[in-house]
C-alpha cells in the first residue's frame, strides 16, 4: 500500500518507472552484462560464458522477488542481485559473474544510466515549458500592466516581458543541465578503492569498454565510488529549476489575489475551492508547486553532505541517496507538468489589468514626467524633487497627479498635450515589445 505522497499524488508515470526497484535492478544487470562482455573481449573469460551472462542479465531470468529474498538473508542488495544472476546462469558461466568488480562499480554506473534517462525527461519538460512561455510572451507582448517592486506599483511593463524573462531563465536551466551531463553521466569500474587491482592490470581497458557499451564516460579517477560533488551539482540544478517554478507560481498566486485579480488559474465548472466557503477560487496548483519547491530545495543539503565521505568511502551516502534522487527527479517532473498546464490555461482579466494601471491616479508615471522635464532643460534632481513632492501631495489628498501638477505650475515646462502623453502608461514601456521579439527569435527551437 502506498504511503509516501510521491507514490500516489505528486508523481508522473514515466519518471516514477525509471526510479522503480525493477528498473534499478534492470540497470544493475545491464552493467553486469557490459562487464562480462568487456572481460570476454580482453580474453579474461570464455566468450560462451559472456554470452550466457548477457542472455540471463535481465528481468526475465533475475526476478526482483528472488533478489529481495536473498537480500533478506544476507543484508546486501547488490550482492543479492549477483547471487540471483549467478543462480540463473550455468555453473560454468556463473563463476564469472561480477568478476573483479566492487558493488559501487555496478551501483554508481547504473545510477548514471538512471540519471541519463531522467535528465532526458527533464530536458524535454523544460523545452516544452520554454515554448509555452514564449507563446505567452508573443501573445501578450502588447499587454501593458503595472510593474511592481517591493510589492508596490513601480512603472508600466508588459505581460509579454514577464513571460520572456521566465523563458530566458528556463533556457539557462536547459544549458546548465546539458553542461552538468558532462560530469554526472559517468561510470567507474575500478574496484574496492579505485586502484583497479582486482582487474589484474586491465582495469582501465575494462572500464573504457564497459562505459562505451553503456554510452557513458569513464571517470578519470575514483575511490570506491564516483565522487559526490557530481551528484550534488545535479541536485542543485534540479533545486534551481524548482526555484524558477516557484517564482512563476508565486507570481500567479499574487496576481490572483482578490484585490489584484489580473490573472487566475483555470477554474473548472465542478471544481471546489473550499469545503466551507462556496465562493472560493484558490490558486491551489500554484500553491502546491510552491510547497513542493521547499522539499526539492531541502534535498540539496543531504546531497552536499554526501560529498565529504571518509577515506575511500563510507556508507553514509547510501540511505540519503535512496530518497533524494527519486524525490528530486519525480517532484521536478511533476512540478514542470503542473506549471505547463497552469500556463496553457491561464485566465487573464484585461479590465482588472487596466484598473490597476490607473489605480494610483497617475503616480506610476512620475518617472516618465521626470525624464521629460530633463529633456526640457530642468535639472534631474530638481525634476525629481518636484515630482516627489507632487506625488506625496497627490497621494495624501487622493487626487490625480495631473491635477496637482497643474496646481504646481507644470505647464511652464510642458504643454498639456505633453503632460497627457507622459501620463499614459502605454507610452512608457520602453523597448519591451522589441525585447520580447528578440527573446522569441533567440530561444525558439533552441
pLDDT 10s digits, 131-149: 999 999 999 999 999 999 9
Q: Do domains 5-94 and 103-264+280-355 have the same CATH topology?
A: no
pLDDT tens string 381-404: 999 999 999 999 999 999 999 999
d(CA 23, CA 64): 10
For 124-153, letters b (16+ CB in 10 Å) and e give ebbeebbbbbbbbbbebbebbbbbbeeeeb
Marked catalytic residue, from 4, 20, 90, 274: 274
Pick among 3.30.360.10, 3.40.47.10, 1.20.1440.230, 1.10.275.10: CATH of 5-94: 1.10.275.10
Query: What is the Cα 314 distance to its own chain's centre?
Result: 30
Rounded to two decimals, what is the model's pTM? 0.94
Marked catalytic residue, from 54, 150, 198, 286: 150
Q: Is 274 a catalytic residue?
A: yes
What percentage of the chain reaches a pLDDT higher than 70? 97
Residue 274: is its pLDDT beyond 60? no
- The residues near 5 (Cβ < 8 Å, ≥ 6 apart) are none
Tell which residue, 297, 219, 283, has the closest CA to residue 249: 283
pLDDT tens string 66-110: 999 999 999 999 999 999 999 999 999 999 999 999 999 999 999
Residue 269: is its pLDDT beyond 70? no
User: Which helix (DSSP H) or strand (DSSP E) does residue 325 occupy?
Assistant: helix 318-344
Kindly indicate whether the domain formed by 103-264+280-355 is annotated with CATH number 1.20.200.10: yes
d(CA 365, CA 391): 10
DSSP 8-state class, residue 99: T
Q: Is 150 a catalytic residue?
A: yes
Mean pLDDT of the chain: 95
Residue 16: is its pLDDT beyond 60? yes
DSSP-derived 3-state class of residue 218: strand
How high is the pLDDT of residue 272? 63
- Is residue 185 within 8 Å of 217, Cβ to Cβ? yes
For 319-340, letters b (16+ CB in 10 Å) and e give eebeebbbbbbbbbbbbbbbbb
Residue 203: is its pLDDT beyond 90? yes
Give the residue, 438 or 269, on which the prediction is more confident: 438
Q: For 191, left (φ over 0), alpha (ψ -120 to 50), or beta?
A: left
- The helix-helix angle for 47-56 and 21-41 (nearest 10°) equals 170
- Is residue 193 within 8 Å of 312, Cβ to Cβ? yes
Task: Give burial (CB, 10 Å; 0-12/13-18/19+) of 71.
Answer: middle
Residue 267: is its pLDDT beyond 90? no
What percentage of the chain reaches a pLDDT higher than 90? 92
CA distances from 202 to 49, 110, 188, 206, 240 (A): 19, 21, 13, 6, 41
How high is the pLDDT of residue 153? 98
Name the residue with cell 532526458.
Answer: 120
pLDDT tens string 321-342: 999 999 999 999 999 999 999 9
Domain edges within the chain: 5-94, 103-264+280-355, 363-422
How high is the pLDDT of residue 445? 75
Tell me how long the chain is.
446
- Is residue 93 within 8 Å of 52, Cβ to Cβ? yes
Amino acid at each position: 500500500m502506498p504511503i509516501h505522497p510521491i507514490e500516489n499524488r505528486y508523481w508522473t508515470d514515466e519518471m516514477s518507472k525509471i526510479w522503480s526497484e525493477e528498473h534499478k535492478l534492470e540497470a544493475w544487470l545491464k552493467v553486469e552484462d557490459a562487464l562480462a562482455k568487456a572481460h570476454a573481449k580482453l580474453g579474461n573469460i570464455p566468450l560462451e560464458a559472456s554470452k550466457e551472462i548477457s542472455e540471463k542479465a535481465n528481468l526475465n531470468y533475475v526476478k526482483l522477488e528472488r533478489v529481495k529474498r536473498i537480500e533478506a538473508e544476507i543484508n546486501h542488495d547488490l550482492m543479492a542481485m549477483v547471487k540471483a544472476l549467478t543462480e540463473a546462469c550455468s555453473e560454468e558461466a556463473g563463476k564469472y559473474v561480477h568478476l573483479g568488480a566492487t558493488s559501487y562499480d555496478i551501483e554508481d554506473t547504473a545510477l548514471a544510466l538512471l540519471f541519463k534517462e531522467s535528465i532526458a525527461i527533464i530536458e524535454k519538460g523544460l523545452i516544452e515549458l520554454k515554448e509555452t512561455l514564449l507563446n505567452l510572451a508573443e501573445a501578450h507582448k502588447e499587454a501593458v500592466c503595472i510593474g511592481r517592486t517591493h510589492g508596490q506599483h513601480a512603472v508600466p511593463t508588459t505581460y509579454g516581458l514577464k513571460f520572456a524573462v521566465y523563458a530566458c531563465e528556463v533556457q539557462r536551466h536547459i544549458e546548465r543541465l546539458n553542461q552538468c551531463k558532462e560530469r554526472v553521466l559517468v561510470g567507474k569500474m575500478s574496484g574496492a578503492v579505485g586502484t583497479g587491482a582486482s582487474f589484474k592490470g586491465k582495469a582501465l581497458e575494462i572500464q573504457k569498454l564497459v562505459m562505451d557499451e553503456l554510452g557513458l564516460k569513464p571517470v578519470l579517477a575514483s575511490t570506491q565510488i564516483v565522487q559526490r560533488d557530481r551528484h550534488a551539482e545535479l541536485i542543485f540544478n534540479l533545486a534551481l529549476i524548482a526555484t524558477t517554478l516557484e517564482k512563476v507560481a508565486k507570481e500567479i498566486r499574487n496576481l490572483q489575489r482578490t484585490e489584484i485579480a489580473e490573472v487566475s488559474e483555470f477554474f473548472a465548472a465542478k471544481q471546489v475551492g473550499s469545503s466551507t466557503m462556496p465562493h472560493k477560487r484558490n490558486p491551489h496548483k500554484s500553491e502546491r508547486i510552491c510547497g513542493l519547491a521547499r522539499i526539492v530545495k531541502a534535498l540539496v543539503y543531504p546531497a552536499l553532505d554526501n560529498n565529504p565521505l571518509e577515506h575511500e568511502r563510507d556508507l553514509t551516502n547510501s540511505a540519503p541517496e535512496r530518497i533524494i534522487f527519486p524525490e528530486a527527479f519525480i517532484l521536478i517532473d511533476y512540478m514542470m507538468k503542473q506549471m505547463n498546464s497552469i500556463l496553457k490555461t491561464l485566465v487573464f482579466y484585461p479590465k482588472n489589468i487596466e484598473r490597476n494601471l490607473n489605480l494610483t491616479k497617475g503616480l506610476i508615471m512620475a518617472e516618465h514626467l521626470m525624464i521629460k522635464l530633463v529633456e526640457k532643460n530642468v535639472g534631474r534632481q530638481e525634476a525629481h524633487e518636484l515630482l516627489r513632492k507632487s506625488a506625496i501631495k497627490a497621494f495624501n489628498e487622493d487626487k490625480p497627479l495631473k491635477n496637482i501638477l497643474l496646481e504646481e505650475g507644470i505647464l511652464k515646462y510642458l504643454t498639456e498635450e505633453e503632460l497627457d502623453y507622459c501620463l499614459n502608461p502605454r507610452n512608457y514601456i520602453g523597448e519591451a515589445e522589441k525585447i520580447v521579439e528578440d527573446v522569441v527569435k533567440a530561444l525558439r527551437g533552441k
